[in-house]
Structure 1
Amino acid sequence: MSVQGPWGARDGSTPPPVRTPERETPRYSARHDTPREDKGQHPVWAVVSTLLMAGFLWFLTGSWVVAGAVLFGLFVHEYGHVLAMNRVGMGPARIYIIPFLGGLAKGQRAPKSEWHGVLVSLAGPAFGLLAMIPFVAVGVTMKSPEWLMGAFFIAMINLLNLLPAPPLDGSKALGPVLTRVHPRLEQVALLAVGGLAVWWGLSTGRLILAVFLGLAVIGHLKRGVWRAAWGQLSWPEAGRSLALYLLTAVVCAAAAIGALLPLTGGAVEPAFEMGLRFFGVGGR
């Protein structure tokens, strides 16, 4: 019989290995296996962000009516994205207000297809035009240029968002159409348009917009070809996407000119010239 010591038996034999109970693999509940739901922006920060955004818009426009119109238009625009996201199974979507930049609609998951992505991106500008209605109504009733300019700026928010420059809605609506032709065509085209948008922002004094778009263009360049994992639009879907994009752009432009018509006595050409001056084109 051997006597057990601290490093083995004293007679030189090796003691049998001591069996230890196997550690049970931790079990996780189903809630740990699924992504946590985005609860949205904290209410306190949402209020602070909205107030900061309102003050910034007043500083830029010098009018509380126009600033309120832009802020209201921003919410309605993002809510259009939210409705579309919920409709195609990306919800429940949330709205975030980003001070000095704008808003963001965020879904719980990516769209199931490129076609759904196009619908979501165009829903914001299309639905956002509804925000013009109360401002046009008050402007026409009270013959108030300030309220009509508020409606004009709402239309311009949605029209500018259709620029095919990342990360604006236009890049997400037109980009997949270009990818259908060739993936590199999307990258080259959006980079070119993004560069022009940055130049426009700098040349017209919209420095914050220029910096924001410039950072997005750099991010696009680093990211490479977009949406490789999502597949591509079919050719019929690409045709419908292009048609919807062009139709939305035309409606937004027409709404902007329409908001200015009461200020020009119904004359289209002066209203059109006023709209061009917003882009820094034409005389002052």
Structure 2
Amino acid sequence: GSVLFGKTKYLLVGLKMTKMMPLVSMIGTSFAYSFFFGWPYSVGMVGLIFVHETGHAIALRHYGIPFSPMVMIPFMGAVIATKELPRNAYQDAMVAIAGPIAGSVGALSCAVAATSTDSQLLYALADFGYMINLFNLMPIGSMDGGRIAGAI
């Protein structure tokens, strides 16, 4: 058991240094969620988290702030680490709000598709998307809302 873990640890370290880590972490997170929610919902959850994080990445790129590839952490969310701090509070707030804006657009897309198809899966994903983005807007610590509140 420990030999397998030791070899797996080096594989994960190697993947972290590659461009494959976002994809591997998305698959791993979908796999972990699937035990509780089933594959379709799990893949949708990961997709909505990806859309949220992509909003941050677009804003970071807009402001010329270098960042690392996104890494998903099962049952915690995802993270994009910046290699520099934003130049001012305005940029920090804009980067912070970009995730919930993009995530809400993703949730709205699920809601619109759900009303067109009467898909319970898409309704559930829309609910998840709205809730996770509202949760992220709480003005606490390093969450998006905390960064926005800190900038104000």
TM-score by length of 1: 0.44
- Whether the aligned pair in 2 keeps the contact of 1:96 and 1:103 (CA below 8 Å) is yes
Separation (CA, whole Å) in 2 of partners of 1:112 and 1:43: 27
Cα displacement (A) at 1:85: 0.9
Structure 2 equivalent of residue 76 of structure 1: 51
Separation (CA, whole Å) in 1 of partners of 2:120 and 2:132: 18
- Whether the aligned pair in 1 keeps the contact of 2:22 and 2:70 (CA below 8 Å) is no
Structure 1 equivalent of residue 99 of structure 2: 124
Aligned CA distance change for structure 1 residues 139 and 107 (closer, same or farther; 3 Å): same
Separation (CA, whole Å) in 1 of partners of 2:27 and 2:68: 22
Gaps of 5+ in 2: 1-15
SS of the residue 1:103 aligns to: strand
- Whether the aligned pair in 1 keeps the contact of 2:67 and 2:80 (CA below 8 Å) is no
Structure 2 equivalent of residue 86 of structure 1: 61
Structure 2 equivalent of residue 15 of structure 1: none
Q: What's the RMSD between the two structures over aligned residues?
A: 2.1
- Whether the aligned pair in 2 keeps the contact of 1:65 and 1:147 (CA below 8 Å) is no
Separation (CA, whole Å) in 2 of partners of 1:140 and 1:64: 22
Amino acid at match of 1:148: Y
The CA deviation string for residues 17-74 of structure 1, in whole angstroms up to 9 with x for no partner, is: xxxxxxxxxxxxxxxxxxxxxxx752444333212211222233x2433222211111
Aligned CA distance change for structure 1 residues 93 and 80 (closer, same or farther; 3 Å): farther
Superposition pairs of residues 5-154 of structure 1, within 5 angstroms? 42-60=18-36, 62-91=37-66, 94-154=69-129
Q: Which runs of 4+ in 1 moved over 4 A?
A: none
Separation (CA, whole Å) in 2 of partners of 1:45 and 1:94: 8
Cα displacement (A) at 1:171: 0.9
Separation (CA, whole Å) in 2 of partners of 1:119 and 1:46: 23
Choose which of 139, 143, 146 in structure 2 pairs with 1:171.
Answer: 146
The CA deviation string for residues 115-139 of structure 1, in whole angstroms up to 9 with x for no partner, is: 1111111111011112124422332
Q: Which has the higher helix share?
A: 2
The CA deviation string for residues 191-241 of structure 1, in whole angstroms up to 9 with x for no partner, is: xxxxxxxxxxxxxxxxxxxxxxxxxxxxxxxxxxxxxxxxxxxxxxxxxxx
Amino acid at match of 1:96: V
Cα displacement (A) at 1:88: 1.6
TM-score by length of 2: 0.78
Separation (CA, whole Å) in 2 of partners of 1:137 and 1:68: 18
Cα displacement (A) at 1:140: 1.6
Separation (CA, whole Å) in 1 of partners of 2:60 and 2:21: 23
SS of the residue 2:70 aligns to: strand
SS of the residue 1:116 aligns to: helix
Gaps of 5+ in 1: 1-39, 178-284
Q: Bigger relative contact order, structure 1 or 2, given CA contacts below 8 A and separation 6+?
A: 2
Separation (CA, whole Å) in 1 of partners of 2:145 and 2:20: 31
Quote the sequence identity (%). Answer: 26
SS of the residue 1:67 aligns to: helix
Amino acid at match of 2:86: P
